[in-house]
Structure 1
Amino acid sequence: MIFSGLPARIALLAFVPVLGLAALASAWLGYERYQAGVQEINTRGTTLVRQAALALEGDPVLERERLRRYALGLLALDDVLTVSIDGLDGQTLVREQRSSSQRLNGNAGEQPEASLGFEAPVRGALAASLTPDISPGPGYLPGPARVHIELSRAPLFALRSSVLIDTLGLLGLGALFGLLAASLGSIAILTPFERVQRLLNRLRNGQFEPPLRRGDDGGPLDALEEGISAIARLLREQRQTLMSRDEQTMAELHETLEELEIKNAELDIARKKALAASQVKSEFLANMSHEIRTPMNGVLGFVELLAKTELSRTQQGHLQTIRASARHLMTILNDILDFSKIEAGKFELAQQPFDLRELLENAVLLFAPNAHAKNLSLVLDVAPELPSGLIGDGPRIAQIVTNLVSNAVKFTDRGQVEVCVRLCSETAKTVTFGIAVLDTGIGFAPQDRARLFSAFDQIDTSPTRRHGGTGLGLAICRRLVQMMGGDIHAESVPGEGACFEATLRLDRLLATEAGEGAEAVPPPVSMPALLAMRDETLARALTHILALRGVAARLCRDVNELEAALSQPPAPGPLLIAIDLRTLPGARQALPELLRAREQPVEGGLLLIGGAEAAMPGNGGFAYGRLQAWQIARPPVSREVLPVLDALLARHAGTPLPDQASTTVPAAHSTPGTQGLHVLLADDNLINRQLARLFLQQLGAQVDEAANGLEAVQRCAGHDYDVVLMDIQMPELDGLSATRRIRAAGPNRDTPIVALTAEILPSDAGRYRAAGIDDQVIKPVTEEALVATLLKWGNRCHLPDPQVQA
């Protein structure tokens, strides 16, 4: 307790003075005792030497023997060490000393200086006192003049040791007394402080009761203790008040913490599920890409082969629709697979020239069968002043139109779906236009507008919903429109339909960029047109198509208006009569009678729109008088209407028009860079192998086939190929493993290996390079892609060695 802090200082203040006093007292007492001993020795020596001098006084002449006996008598004393008697002439008459064995302390090594010397003159023993007539006889000496005695210091040494021991003992008693006093004083002083400290510790630990026992000295520390006790009572009261108030708060806080813990756990689980779902999504996209692209490769490939055969106009139209549908299906697939790239900000838009009108027509015609099956009127209305040649990412714009029209047809049970494209503004370099898709379907509520463009979200998620879908189409549209710097929005009245409008701004395709192969715009023609139909939307769209050739159209909403129009004098040039078999089928039955009632015969053409049940016996093969008849499906598009105008003008001018109904595309021919190449084709899909083999054989290449990776390795072990086309996903042995084995040994270690793959994930390219793949061709494989690949890699590994030639 007294070795640290305040107790140590208190003990030091009590111990040091007591120890100091004890040291001074013991030193003073020792010094006085030692001085008394020294004085005693000096007194004894002086007394002995004086007594000896008095004894020798009065004997002028003494015998030497007598002096010797006297000196020995003095040596008999314990403390006398040496006795010396000197004569008057200074000579030593007698000198006796104690031997070493007779020393008082018994030490043989006693030094002479360890003694005290005392001298005294012998008064009266002078040579002048000797009378002349007295002569000393033999054996007598002249009287002594001085006596010298040396006493031992041993008693003084013993006294000094005794004094030192006594002094230390006294000092030790003083220190012990000081320690006792310091302890008692520290206890007496620190006890009140300890009580205060214990009280403060209790306060610090929140122990406000019972109250501590007070001291009874009535000092300041007791007053301090009483003040602290009062504070403790006050704190106790406040604590009780706070505890009563905080109980509810703590309960609410505890409940909140539990809710936060639950939410954190749920968020952690959701995060893990999201990561797992992202991984599953990537794997799903890769697998679906392969599963869908594999059959689409056969579809598109054989469509290309079929297009090279001799077909009629109707067959060419059907084939063109199939080709456009398949290509748009691949575009949709590519967009969905690229959705993850858009989310990650790694997607880039292409900037290439494209024909906007052709793109819109191909996208809308995809849904003509669905619209016809639901008895809907599907109309594409493109403003004639809108330029067709633009620069941008045409497939992505087609994806936007496809998604919007698909939703409109899906959610519309009766009425019509109109795709209206209008020019908003233009400059010398840019064109801003709007694409609006209007329907008369179920529409949506205003509160659901924010959910329309959310990914993987649908307004109706109930089990009894009528309309399916992934909920991804509008989200893709919004992302693509935003990436193009445009805007998309939607308006609707529930039960009356909806309108989705996207505004885009693209660069104009200038004449210098279009190149020499660009198709020239035909000059305006002088030809009137009568439109017999009740569908004003269809009439407006057809009027805009005819305006591309400068044809002015007049709308006849019923048979009477058509009769009135035909009764007027004919205009110069051929006349085009367009009848909508869906809204005004009676005009077709009444038309022969109306034509016979005219005074002058009508020359021109008849365009029947829709009505599959009234198919004509061949395009342009049925005539009403002098009218040549054509029939087209709904919706009418420029690529079907404009050739009718061109045929009418050519017939009216007497110019033979090439028969487009039996146009034959010449078969592919071999390319000099591909002739004679030896190619190994490894693919587990028989249709894909057949398609690729036909393409390669038309290019002049020799083809060996392998149905799996193991068979490809075996063939490469016995043949030296110019190029190896390797599918990635195959049974027995996949394409990457087969490539590694081929690269390990054999004649094709350096042969170019090109992957035929449907996987387009970013990580695939690195895996392919690591396995030894030189290049890749994305399915569906086209003839153009094969030609480019063979020209790039064919014969590369068999080029002559420059060193050998040298």
Structure 2
Amino acid sequence: MQPKLIKYYLLGLFVIGLVLFIVLQFNSAQNIRKLISGNEKLLDELNVKNELQKLQTNIAKTDSKVRGTVISQDTLNITGIEAEVAVIKADLGEINKLVLNDSTEKLLTQLNYLVDEKNNFNVAVLDSFYLKGKWSAERMINAQKGKRLGEAINVILHALDSTRQTEVNHTTHLIDTSGQKALNWGTIMLFFACLSSLLSFLYITSRIYKQEQLIEALDHSRQQEKKLTVVKDQFLANMSHEIRTPMNAVLGFTHLLQQQPLNEKSREYVASIQHAGENLLDIINDILDISKIESGMMRLEPVSFSLRGMMHSLQLMFQPKAQEKLLDLSVHIDAGVPDILYGDVMRLTQVLVNLVNNAIKFTPQGQVTVRVSPVGGNESGIRLLFTIADTGIGISPNKLSTIFDRFNQAEADITRKYGGTGLGLTIVKQLVELQHGTISVESELGKGSTFLVQLPYTQGELLAEGTELSGYSQEHFTLPQQPDIRLLVAEDNRMNQNLLRHLLGNRQLHYQLVANGQEAVNALSKQHFDLILMDLQMPEMDGYTATRKIREELHSNIPIVAMTAHAMAGEREKCLQTGMNEYLAKPIREEELYRMIQVFTGKSSTPEHYVHPHPHNGYAYNGESSLVQLEYLQQLSRGDKAFEQNMLTQFVTQLPEDLSMLKKAIDEEAATDIRRTAHTLKTTISFIGLEAHLYPILESFEHLEVNYDKALVSDQFNTLKRLCVQALQETLQLLF
């Protein structure tokens, strides 16, 4: 049976049941009415019988008084005879009203006549007694006329009684029949009522059971959907990590190769490699963004920011790319637009970066213009219109309605010619709607496009600058006449601390370095910072706990960027769910670090000097058998040999300490300490390119269960120790 027809079958059954109930109720009511009518009729017959008996008794009583008066000559007996006669006439009149019908009309006529004659006779006897005396009255009595009249009256009364008895029997039978029918129909009604109640109960119970099954199945489906979503997100996070690592290496080597003398053909090949690598990273970022939005993990983090500072950074970011294509890139902000706004500057930057990047990509010549203007507002807020116009290839009118759909680009050859996933505008639209804004596009094929984005903001207030970052035992670095960016860095690994000192110092940034999450919370409660770089695995208090305290106890919306060497799937999403704003994988990439600082602070910073990295820096490689690879360290150092020497020296010092701590944890069979020390070791060995050889072993330690195979762990540690000793020997050869 089709589900759509069930309701019609149920409606039909309901109508049939209703009609059946009405018929049963009608028949039952009819029989009850017959029963009531029969009872009333039987009561009337009983009244008739009673009246007949009263008439017969009163006639006999009157005769008796008349005879007694004549015989005893006692006139006292005559008292009330007139009243008795009147009662007899009244009884006769009542009988006439109750018994009058076709079958008794003749008998009633005779009865009326005889009763009148009987009354007249009695009156005549009494008159004769008064006038002529006793003998005259006795003679009338002895003439037997009164006796004959009395006998005739009794015959008539008996006939009437017989006739009424037949009616009584018929009425009694009718009452019995109607009562039995009423009882039967009542029983049938009771049976159908019980049956209907039972069927209704069974139906309702079955529907409730099916509904519970559906709810249970729905819950199970939701749980499965959540699990699948988690699996998908974990897969995307894991794959992004696995793809990013080699792609960053490809782009890094491409950057190094571009610094070398190349002929025209080689330079073209290198440029193609760089372009393809950047496109691949863009695709990965787009997939991660759309996944994060759809899974509900994209959260708004409103802060006070400088609109003009952010737009200036945006222009600086895209100016080289525009100049490369000989495009005129201009940014205009109307005078009526306030500078300090309160909103999610990161999401705004992401929207504008995507739209400006598309405008430059699809504009072969001409200009790209970005304009910010107010379109409405009140005392508490303002609505801004961001207009991104270009003179590029444009969009055909029939494609405008689908331009924001996922995996969709305006023309079929766009992807082949310009690349991309077709997700960029989908992400932009969802980010705009997430901020309660609107986006639209106006375009004409061959004449360019104009994207119109409206977003609401409230006017922000400048955050207090706080006191100078001093009075702490932790190290901080400041130089004058640089962007006023204040960073809080929570990192316990000494090599990472040195790296961050080097990277942040190159950009002349203000920063304060702390060794654990508790120190980070304490520092934030006393000072103002623009951004926190938060390691996840730290002693005393880890990064997750520190973030929760910052969000829940300090009620701070300061941007927090997680730093971790975890390659586990879903680690990035876990960071976002905890309250962090972004995820930075270790080993830390210089450009990625600077990009996040710029995006989250809305400010830009430029290094005081730039030294092109040297591909060898005086270090010799030991060929394919060498474990130590210095490409990453050289990219970070930008030719600073003292920094490289310092990092290598610290590696030689710290690696034996970390190995010793890991050996101690294994000997004590402390799974928690093994996992924590293995995570620390991953950071230590990442600076000299040991990830490919040692990460598999260290990740198996990181995922160690409580009931682990001790012999297998011991064998893995011996392998790890052997490779670390070889790496130490190679590093020592490089140092000396």
TM-score by length of 1: 0.30
Q: Which has the higher helix share?
A: 2
Max Rg structure:
1
TM-score by length of 2: 0.32
Q: Which has the higher strand share?
A: 1
